[in-house]
Amino acid sequence: MALAAGLVAAPGASLAVTSSPAPDDAAVAGRVAQEMPRVIAWRRDFHEHPELSNREVRTSGIVAAHLRKLGLEVRTGIAKTGVVGVLEGAHPGPTIALRADMDALPVTEQTDVPFRSRVTTTYRGETVGVMHACGHDAHTAMLMGVAEILSGLRAQLPGKVVFIFQPAEEGPPDGEDGGAPLMLKEGLFATHRPEAIFGLHVFSTLPAGVIGYRPGAFMAGSDGFQLSVTGRQSHGARPWQGIDPIVVSSEIVTALQTIVSRQVDLTQNPAIITVGSFRGGVRGNIIPDTVDMQGTIRTFDPAQREDVLARFERTVTHIAEASGATAKLTLSGRPNPVTYNDPSLTKRAVPTLTRVAGEGKIREIGLQTPSEDFSYFAREVPSLFFFVGVAKPDAAPGTAADNHSPLFYIDESALPVGVRALTQLSIDYLTGKM
């Protein structure tokens, strides 16, 4: 059956009315260029004033004020500090969502940029620095820019765009809920359920402006853990009178690595076990009662996850018992599922991303072991999550400071690529070009 005049059928999308011509690529690129000074100013301001998970009060206030100024329908306070804005196009059409995260990390910044963070706070009982060491300042600023650009094109757009500014992607504080799962629990998609959702992450492993993507499984699932090993305190000069939990814990840390290197079939999927915190004792001549450890487990398959967790618990229990100690393992925090890119949506989006980045600047990349709670959104609706490189173009491969490093640096020449990518994906999807 032929479609009525003015209707365009987008594969996998609703019919979109396009009574006004869609803006061409050159017009979009021009609007992006015009918006970039504001995007960079926002990004630098957020970088200088970072806020930890579930504490993004200043950031969310700036975001909400901006979206209201654009005339969007704005909801605040979702998942504590989250902000959602809805842009109504001038014509009927599909609904899509775009997501940015807002929280920073307990990292003391060591870069020399003039807008570096000097913020400190108390985290788990310690005074720590606070830094946007993962680039969420850039994500927030870029999506604010996208909202402004698309608002300016409202008369030419069908459908709706839901702008999601998410708190606590790095995980809520101990004892609190937060992040993507809490936004969904509080009805994020109840009123405006998208047909597709797009998100990006700046990443130091790619040169500035290069886009990296992967269909299907993209980023690892993650589980946090806490492990407490209890021995018996004694004088450091007479260790035989006690049970040394430091030695036992050291054996456990080493043995855990054999789960990955000797017990998991790494030809099927990678897996990682990392102990990131190891605390025990207060003096050099006292063997303590207890050592406490924290860490993370990364897997790419549900069955593999269950197998690794079972091996983990068996390993720590038996090593502790062999020395007369005890071990208590607790999975902590919020687990993240594998971040999965819908293969069909990804295939349809690649031509758009290629137009944005340019030939030779878009790469299909391998499995990525960091995790993302964007994965919760991806379980609800078809999604595409991709990387935008931010390493200095002349940096030797592998030399740029990694995300979460106190030296993490964003080459701001990459930001227009991120803004244009989200803008163009929105336009192409809504107008049936994808």
Q: Two tokens at 274?
A: 């990392």
Query: What residues act catalytically?
Result: 103, 169
Beta bridge pairs of residue 338 = none
Spatial CA neighbour of 411 closest among 199, 103, 119, 205: 205
Q: Which two tokens stand for residue 29?
A: 């690129």
Q: What residues contact 179, with CB distance under 8 A and at least 6 apart?
A: 53, 79, 166, 167, 168, 169, 171, 172, 334, 373, 376
Spatial CB neighbours of 89, under 8 Å, sequence gap ≥ 6: 154, 157, 158, 159, 160, 161, 430
CA 352 to each of CA 26, 103, 208, 426: distance values in angstroms, whole numbers, following the listed order: 13, 29, 18, 10
> What is the DSSP code string of 339-362?
EEE-HHHHHHHHHHHHHHH-TTSE
From CA 54, how far away is CA 169, in angstroms rounded? Answer: 9
Tokens 């869609």 — which residue? Answer: 22
Q: Are strands 272-279 and 221-230 parallel, antiparallel or unpaired?
A: unpaired
Please compute, for residue 25, the number of CA atoms within 13 A of its CA located in the half-sphere on the CB side.
12
- Whether 50 and 108 have beta carbons less than 8 Å apart is answered as no
Report the alpha-carbon distance of residue 329 to residue 321 in Å, rounded: 14
Extract the tokens encoding 70: 């654009």
> How many residues comprise the chain?
434
Contacts 24+ apart (CB under 8 A), 311-316: 311/259, 311/263, 312/225, 312/256, 312/259, 312/273, 315/252, 315/255, 315/256, 315/259, 316/227, 316/229, 316/252, 316/256
Q: Measured at the alpha carbon of residue 100, what is the angle toward residues 99 and 101, in degrees to the nearest 5?
A: 130
The residues, ordered by sequence, that sit 6+ positions from 261 with a Cβ below 8 Å of its Cβ are: none
Q: How many CB atoms lie within 10 A of CB 224?
A: 17
Q: Which residues pair with 126 in a beta bridge?
A: 123
Residue 32, classed as helix, strand or coil, is helix
Q: How far apart are CA 246 and CA 291, in angstroms?
A: 6
